[in-house]
Amino acid sequence: MNNKKISITTHGKVILIGEHSVVYGKDALALPIKGLNIITTIEKSPTAESIMITNHYQGPYLQSPSEYDGLKYVFNTLNSLAKNSEPLQVTYTGEIPMERGLGSSAVVALGTTKALNNYFNLMLPEEKIMEITNHAEMINHGKASGLDAATVNSDYVVFFNKKIGPHPISKKLGATLLIMDTGELGNTKRAVKLVRDKIESNPNEAKKIERLGVLATKTKDLWGKQDVSAIGQIFNEAEEILASFGIATKRIEEISKIAQVNGALGTKLSGGGLGGIVIALCNDKYTAEKIAQKAKDNFSNYWIEEI
Ligand SMILES: Nc1ncnc2c1ncn2[C@@H]1O[C@H](COP(=O)(O)OP(=O)(O)O)[C@@H](O)[C@H]1O
Ligand SMILES: C[C@@](O)(CCOP(=O)(O)O)CC(=O)O
């Protein structure tokens, strides 16, 4: 009887700056959220079929795991590399709500790849694990930059560019980030298409992508100097651009406004948009808590990170 059981913990992420423009080869900066996890567990299936169980909190709706073709791709690829025909049970347990810009799709793709790699003793190199994870993300999003997968696989802030890959930044900024979940489902695939249609039909929209890239490069430089208020201003400018693409909802704008008048240095949506999370850069935890209290009727959940 095979009692083997492998569990892998993978953490979520938020994009600090550079969502959408990163798809076009521009710079971006993203933060791993170490306390926000999904545990992927692999064991022998109790039935004659392979099964996937999602125990993780998904927010106000349920979706069948089998609907995510990216996960099927991971599962089939690793089973085929291991020449495995034993039916398996894959269980996801944790608290990363889906479709909020917190990276759930990359988290489950990476967690499943790593857990199956261990289960089958495949000893796949890191590059192969990331290649499989990124391909799953492509299946999910259409055109994925690789930023999400790189950040959920990193212990440090990631400075990223598609051409050069991820670079970890271990230095702390010396600030507090408030992450507020609007409770509205984002839609990365639709948002990416919406932005692409706009920039392809209007050169002025394309200039905004350039500008977002410049803002991300500046943020990296300011991070090194720990210039928190300048980064706050960059968040606000980026938010204006993202909203002009039509991917900020009324609730995102409402939450941003409340955060602004209660001491945030800068606020923006984070991730694909059309719902999902709002991030607010604050000087300290006290300000972040105050904003969370003032805005609490507008969001479903929040997290505070010392960055
Ligand atoms: N536990 C899970 N089981 C199956 N699919 C999942 C799970 N978590 C996330 N997904 C897939 O990832 C998608 C969310 O990805 P995405 O839209 O990129 O949002 P996020 O910002 O959370 O990554 C879900 O719609 C679903 O297809
Ligand atoms: C819009 C985009 O830049 C980020 C999407 O982030 P998320 O899937 O919403 O967490 C797309 C990408 O980088 O592939």
**Domains of the chain: which residue ranges?**
5-169, 176-306
| Dist CA 280 CA 263 (whole Å) | 9
The DSSP-derived string for 7-50 is EEEEEEEEEEE-TTGGGGT--EEEEEEEEEEEEEEEEE-SSSS-
Report residue 15 CA to chain centroid gap: 6
CB 153 less than 6 A from any atom of ligand 1: no
User: Which residues lie across from 201 on neighbouring strands?
Assistant: none
| Dist CA 219 CA 23 (whole Å) | 18
Atom of ligand 2 nearest to the CA of 99: 9
Render each residue's pLDDT in the chain as its tens digit; 307 residues: 578 999 999 999 999 999 999 999 999 999 999 999 999 999 999 999 998 888 776 655 445 444 678 999 999 999 999 999 999 999 999 989 888 999 999 999 999 999 999 999 999 999 999 999 999 999 988 778 999 999 999 999 999 999 999 999 999 999 999 999 998 888 888 999 999 999 999 999 999 999 999 999 999 999 999 999 999 999 999 999 999 999 999 999 999 999 999 999 999 999 999 999 999 999 999 999 999 999 988 877 899 999 9
Using most ligand atoms within 8 A of CB, pick from 13, 148, 193 the residue to mutate for ligand 2.
148
Pairing label, strands 88-94, 51-54: parallel
State the fold for domain 176-306.
Answer: Alpha-Beta Plaits (3.30.70)
Using most ligand atoms within 8 A of CB, pick from 141, 143, 184, 195 the residue to mutate for ligand 2.
141
| Atom 12, ligand 1: residue with shortest CA distance | 105
pLDDT of residue 1: 58
14 CA to middle of ligand 2, Å?
Answer: 10
191 CA to middle of ligand 2, Å?
Answer: 9
| Dist CA 119 CA 106 (whole Å) | 20
Alpha helices in the chain (DSSP H): 69-81, 104-119, 126-141, 147-152, 188-201, 203-224, 228-244, 250-261, 285-295
State the fold for domain 5-169.
Answer: Ribosomal Protein S5; domain 2 (3.30.230)
pLDDT of residue 58: 60
